[in-house]
Amino acid sequence: MTDFAFPPAAIPSLPIRGRTDSFPVRRIYCVGRNYAEHAIEMGHDPDKEAPFFFQKNPDNLLVNNSRFPYPSLSNSVHHEIELTVALHKGGADIAIENAMECVYGYAVSLDMTRRDLQGEAKKAGRPWEVGKAFDHSAPCGELVLVRDIGFLEEGVVSLSVNGVERQKGDLNQLIWKVPEIISILSGLFTLAPGDLIMTGTPAGVGPVEKGDQLEGYVQGVGALSIEVV
């Protein structure tokens, strides 16, 4: 192999609770409208939709940093609290019954969204990247390993802003459960170790302002504290 023309970018990674090594991130997949009440608040019928996916870029992760910089060219940046699933195995066409073998751990994350730009893209039938995949759009906490906490099938998912609860749901309300998500996603893309999946947000999304203090929580995983700056 020839040398690189310039030094390659660093590989984004997540810290792992209780360990000194870290989780190297390959891709970030996101599930859209995966809680019924959130689908309804966004104007959709949750009973009539197949799951759909979009992506963020690995270098959109905001880790080891509690300060989320308000992004450019938007006046409506929304919080979406989500459980992230981290994979240490992958493959194509993974059967539902084998899917959980791929799950290495979990993290508390935020799918920060330029809602105004996403809305314009939806209206025009354009891609969502400007709304979803901007710099620092994926604040994420440390990874907690399945080996330490077991598999999560239920538990509170919540977000408060300046001490006031805005979002609350339970993992048992996921329309598409984690094994189904992995199985369906693996039919579309070959999954691999290092992939993250953001599993969708419960109802109550809304705008943030500079100075806001966000407190995300997933029962069994932990908390994520972010200040909007």
Which residue, 80 or 142, has its beta carbon nearer to Mn ion? 80
Q: Which residue has the tokens 């990247």?
A: 129
Q: In whole angstroms, how close is the CB of 129 to Mn ion at the nearest point?
A: 14
Q: In whole angstroms, how close is the CB of 7 to Mn ion at the nearest point?
A: 33
In terms of Cα–Cα distance, which of 88, 203, 78, 214 is closest to 140?
214
Tell me if 77 contacts Mn ion by CB under 5 A.
no
Residues 153-212 that bind Mn ion (CB under 5 A): 201
**Cα–Cα distance measured from residue 215 to residue 79, given in angstroms and rounded to the nearest whole number:** 11
Which residue, 29 or 104, has its beta carbon nearer to Mn ion? 29
Number of H helices, E strands in the chain: 6, 18
Which residue, 16 or 29, has its beta carbon nearer to Mn ion? 29
Please give the residue whose beta carbon sits closest to Mn ion in the complex.
111
Q: In whole angstroms, how close is the CB of 80 to Mn ion at the nearest point?
A: 4
**Cα–Cα distance measured from residue 168 to residue 217, given in angstroms and rounded to the nearest whole number:** 9
Q: In whole angstroms, how close is the CB of 17 to Mn ion at the nearest point?
A: 23
Tell me if 34 contacts Mn ion by CB under 5 A.
no
Region for residue 140 given its phi and psi (left: phi exceeds 0; alpha: psi -120 to 50; beta: otherwise): beta
Region for residue 185 given its phi and psi (left: phi exceeds 0; alpha: psi -120 to 50; beta: otherwise): alpha
Residues 94-153 that bind Mn ion (CB under 5 A): 111
Q: How many residues bind Mn ion (CB under 5 A)?
A: 3
Which residue, 53 or 189, has its beta carbon nearer to Mn ion? 53
Q: In whole angstroms, how close is the CB of 201 to Mn ion at the nearest point?
A: 5
DSSP SS3 for 129: helix
Q: Do residues 133 and 64 lie in contact, with contact meaning Cβ atoms separated by under 8 Å?
A: no
DSSP SS3 for 227: strand
Which residue, 16 or 141, has its beta carbon nearer to Mn ion? 141
Tell me if 80 contacts Mn ion by CB under 5 A.
yes
Which residue, 89 or 177, has its beta carbon nearer to Mn ion? 177
**Cα–Cα distance measured from residue 115 to residue 136, given in angstroms and rounded to the nearest whole number:** 15
Q: Which stretch binds Mn ion (CB under 5 A): 7-15, 80-88, 149-157, 164-172?
A: 80-88
Name the residues that contact Mn ion, by CB under 5 A. Answer: 80, 111, 201
